[in-house]
Amino acid sequence: MASKIWAGVMAILALIYVLLLAQKGIVLLTTGELVPILMGLAILVLPLFALWSIYAEVRFGFAAEKLVNRAHELGVEELDLDLRPSGRPSPASAAEALAKLIDQHEVNQDSWSHWLRLGQAYDANGERKLGRAAIRKAISLSNNAKPSKP
């Protein structure tokens, strides 16, 4: 819950910054001189990019959380990681979990739960970029999965 609060605070601060930056861009556009107008246009592009980035990150976070909750409801096996006192996984257990999932990858390529666990294992190994990519793949597979019949 604390991470959601911090994410919300950071998003609000970023939005305030974006609004202030956009205001400066508009002021530069009203000068009537070529160089400040070009600078104002450039400054207005940055807030658009920032807003898109914030939206994409928040959307990813909610989708990933929804998928993790779904995995818990379905009883998907969690990663067996030894945790340090800080709460981070030990490097040995993280590497072992990742190796185990990579060995199973050929068989489970179409399984969203496998991709989710693979993403968590990459993240536990400090490979955030690969972890996020695997979780995005899990979200995509989950969205395209046909609902099972009772």
In a domain, 75, yes or no: no
In a domain, 150, yes or no: no
In a domain, 14, yes or no: yes
Across the range 141-149, mean pLDDT stands at 67
The C-alpha atoms of residue 84 and residue 93 are separated, in whole angstroms, by 10
The mean pLDDT of the chain is: 88
In a domain, 10, yes or no: yes
Q: Does residue 11 sit in the same domain as residue 51?
A: yes
In a domain, 70, yes or no: no
Q: How many domains does the chain have?
A: 2
According to the model, what pLDDT value does residue 148 have? 46
Q: Are 122 and 105 in contact (CB under 8 A)?
A: no
SS3 116: helix
Which has the minimum average pLDDT: 2-6, 9-13, 117-121?
2-6
The C-alpha atoms of residue 142 and residue 20 are separated, in whole angstroms, by 39
Domain that holds residue 56: 2-61
pTM: 0.76
